[in-house]
Amino acid sequence: MNKKTRTILISLVILILAILTAQILINRAVKNKAEFFLKNRLPEHFTVSYSDINLESFSGTITIVDPEVHIQNKTDTITHTIVKANSFTIEDVSYWSYLVNKEINIEDIKLNGAAITYSKHKFKKSTDTVRKPLAKVFKPILLEELSIDNASLTIYDGTKDSISVSVGDITLEIDDIYIDSKTLSRKIPLDYSDYNANGSEISLKVGKYERLTLEDFTITDRKGRFNNITLNTKYSKADLSNITPIERDHFNLAIAAIEIDNPTFGFENSELFAGAISILIDKPTLNVFRDKLVTDDNTYKPLYSKMLREAPINLLVNNVTIKDGSIVYQEKLKDDNQGGRIEFSALNASINKLGNTYPAGDKTALKLTATFMDNTPIEVDWSFDVNDKNDLFLFKGSIGKLPGEQMNQFTAPNLNIKLTGETYQTYFTIDGNASKSSIDMRMKYDDFEIEIMRKRGKGINKLLSKVVNLFIKEDSDDKPTDFREGTGETERDATKSFFNYLWLNLKSGLIATLAGKG
């Protein structure tokens, strides 16, 4: 081996040793910085542990193995949140950007196999009036992609049925994230360009009596889809009546899918907002049972315009479409039967300008078509201005051919009356506000009579039926084109729902039309 070759070999060995030494030193320095950050830069009420930190200095990759984070209240040592994961990886950290541009530039951060538990009953809200940053950051952070894979979430509330929220599998990706000391002071502590998330096996407790489930969902900044949604009362009808101190509806709601076009959400001037260009609710089926034998709920019931106006979120949805829905409503008034029922099928509706951020004068408008009691077509046109504090509304409807016998499954067990004859066409307009309303009704009908049933539904009280029918015009007129007309006024009972208000108006209109001058 000549001198020149020996010199080259020695130089290569020295270079390799220098590189290896540099890598060891860099690894040690970066690891020390990572450990220093985890120990000193996170808030004091965060406790972090891990089994190891692995580094690949040439690729700029840091992996924290088996990380575990405990988050305590600021005012005591009680832990309310625990995050355990298989690994937390930071990929391709740009040392050049860190040294030259004075910013932290990262290609990817991955959190894999995280199990998140939050005990909201243990959380104590901070009394700080000034919002403090989530962490101390002295250089801006630019992150091309944040991904959370195969995560689970469980939220406890400390009650007997303690699981408030559970999600079996969540995957989340957020792109082009920017973080600095200013963003960390906000409620959403980062800027980003777009996101996508999906999850499955979701269950949420909705109050004391109901639970919502969701088979799976996918959401991006452009589209959202939620499949097989249910919102059900957790108890049987009988059990609910026994445990609730006041009247409460027992219901089962199932929706095949909900699609959202261009969903938006966030905070503006510290206020939460949400919206979308359009929402499609596909094949909703709703079954409602009301036990009127339970003590009435006499709390104040605002109209929908007021509920929207005073909602704790700024809402703006241009259009909501309901496709191929159905409703079954059953009401029990007597202890000796399960009550009467009414049904709506083939229900389709559109709601324009659903929200509380539209300018005054713009109206929320609902148009609905459905089939009532198997074969009677109905149409509804309902509008109101959410900004109007008098809660003025206009409710128009038309009802097609309706045999009286079809209503008997509701009127017989609940009202102790049976109807005969049929109505061919009914039109009505209700013009009202939060306290009173008026109705104009036009009806064409034939051979319409009321039969008063004896107690417990045992036969017909013929004498009383004849007396009642003396006040009812049997036919709208001899001419097939003629309608009888009636007007009525109604005062609202503010402890009842809008639909009770609607029923009182229809009752007033029916009495005026059937028994009035026509």
pLDDT digits (tens, 9 = 90+) for 45-82: 888 888 988 877 666 688 999 999 999 998 888 999 99
Q: Which of 94-108, 111-125, 304-318, 435-449 has the lowest mean pLDDT?
A: 94-108
Q: 409 and 518: one domain? A: yes
The token pair at 282 is: 């596909």
pLDDT at 136 over 70: no
Whether residue 396 sits in one domain with residue 348: no
For residues 43 and 100, state if they share a domain: yes
Q: Is the pLDDT of residue 479 over 60?
A: no
What's the confidence (pLDDT) of residue 517? 61
Residues 96 and 200 reside in one and the same domain? yes
Q: What is the pLDDT of residue 405?
A: 81
Q: For the residues of 228-240, what is the DSSP string, one character each? A: EEEEEESS-HHHH
Q: Is 47 left (phi over 0), alpha (psi -120 to 50) or beta?
A: beta
pLDDT of residue 280 exceeding 70: yes
- In this prediction, residues 267-293 reach a mean pLDDT of 93
Q: Residue 272's Cα: distance from chain center in Å?
A: 14
More confident: 485 or 478 = 485
What's the rounded Cα separation, in Å, for the pair 27 and 123?
38
Label residues 200-212 b or e (16+ Cβ within 10 Å = b). Answer: eebbbbeeebbbe
Residue 128 CB coordination number (10 Å): 8
What's the rounded mean pLDDT across residues 107-128?
89
Residue predicted with more confidence, 6 or 73: 73
Within 356-435, strands assigned E span 364-372, 376-384, 393-399, 402-403, 417-432
Q: Are residues 286 and 416 in the same domain?
A: no
What does each C-alpha distance from 287 to 191, 214, 344, 477 come to in angstroms? 43, 18, 10, 38
Higher pLDDT, 327 or 158: 327
Number of other residues whose CB lies within 10 A of the CB of residue 102: 10
DSSP 124: -
Domain assignment of residue 256, yes or no: yes
Domain membership of residue 382 (yes or no) is no
Per-residue pLDDT tens over the stretch 401-459: 988 888 777 766 656 677 778 889 999 999 999 999 999 999 888 887 777 777 665 67
Domain endpoint, select from 308, 343, 360: 360
Q: Do 190 and 248 belong together in one domain?
A: no
Indicate whether 385 belongs to any domain: no
Q: Is residue 50 part of a domain?
A: yes
Q: Do residues 254 and 315 both lie within one domain?
A: yes
Whether residues 311 and 404 fall in one domain: no
Residue 212 lies in a domain: no
| Per-residue model confidence (pLDDT) at position 180 | 83
Asked if 304 and 269 sit in the same domain, the reply is: yes
Quick check: is 113 in a domain?
yes
| pLDDT higher than threshold 70 for residue 34 | no
pLDDT of residue 271: 85
Say what the pLDDT of residue 87 is. Answer: 95
Say how many domains are in the chain. 3
Do 248 and 187 reside in the same domain of the chain? no
pLDDT at residue 480 is higher than 60: no
Query: Could you say which of 173, 206, 239 is where a domain stops?
Result: 206
Name 94's Cβ contacts closer than 8 Å, sequence gap at least 6.
60, 105, 106
Q: Could you tell me whether strands 141-156 and 104-112 are parallel, antiparallel, or unpaired per DSSP bridges?
A: parallel
* Boundary of a domain, candidates 176, 206, 236: 206
In a domain, 12, yes or no: no
In the predicted model, what is the mean pLDDT of the chain?
A: 85
Give domain status of residue 4, yes or no.
no
Domain that holds residue 491: 392-518
Handedness of CA 15, 21, 24, 27 (dihedral sign): negative
Output the pLDDT for position 320: 98
Q: Under 8 Å CB-to-CB from 150, ≥6 apart: which residues?
A: 112, 113, 114, 169, 170, 171
Rg of the Cα trace of the chain?
33
Residues 403 and 501 in one domain: yes
Mean pLDDT, range 9-37, rounded to an integer: 60
**Comparing 14-18, 388-392, 489-493, which segment has the lowest mean pLDDT?**
14-18
Pair (242, 301) in one structural domain: yes
pLDDT at residue 164 greater than cutoff 70: yes
